[in-house]
Amino acid sequence: MQNNKHRAMIISAVIGLCMAVLISVARGAFSAGTTADRILAFCDGFSVSGVLLLCFGIMIWISNEGFFDVLSYAAQKGLHHLIPGRASEDLGSFYDYKTSKANGKRAGSAFLVVPGIVILALGLILMGIWYSFSS
């Protein structure tokens, strides 16, 4: 179990680093004229990819806490009324639906939050270096 968590975190970190490099290349990291421009391009790449990973991780955490359960229940209930043959059993009350979702297994969000924080921190460090080069 612990090995799967580490594997997911490593995969997320690799994807985040690939996003950072692609964004940096799109910003002209390797064609920039000055060192400050190169650092700024890498700062943008790491900051954007770090924020994306962090935000997706926070969205997963919010979803795991049950924030979107009412929307899911309403959509399923509405589809059941529009398409009667869609579901074989009734969802019951919202309380029953909420307790059944709470008993179910939900994925963690640390596999996105931790690499997102590390990559964002790298972007902020690069921003500090850029400020020292540009002044």
Higher pLDDT, 88 or 84: 84
Lowest mean pLDDT among 50-54, 62-66, 105-109: 105-109
DSSP state of 135: -
**88-134: per-residue pLDDT in tens?**
566 777 777 777 777 776 777 888 999 999 999 999 999 999 999 87
Q: 11 φ, ψ to 5°? A: -65, -40
The predicted model gives 64-92 an average pLDDT of: 75
How confident is the model at residue 86, as a pLDDT? Answer: 59
Which residue blocks in 1-135 are alpha helix, DSSP H?
A: 2-26, 35-64, 69-82, 94-103, 110-134
Q: 5 φ, ψ to 5°? A: -65, -45
| 126 to 4, 30, 52, 55, 77: CA distances (angstroms) | 31, 16, 17, 20, 49
Q: What is the mean pLDDT of the chain?
A: 85
How confident is the model at residue 47, as a pLDDT? Answer: 96
87 pLDDT above the threshold of 70: no
d(Cα 72, Cα 43) in Å, to the nearest integer? 38
Domain containing residue 125 = 2-134
Taking alpha carbons only, the member of 130, 135, 134, 132 closest to residue 39 is: 130
24 pLDDT above the threshold of 90: yes
**Total domains in the fold of the chain:** 1
Q: 79 φ, ψ to 5°? A: -65, -35
The predicted model gives 31-57 an average pLDDT of: 92
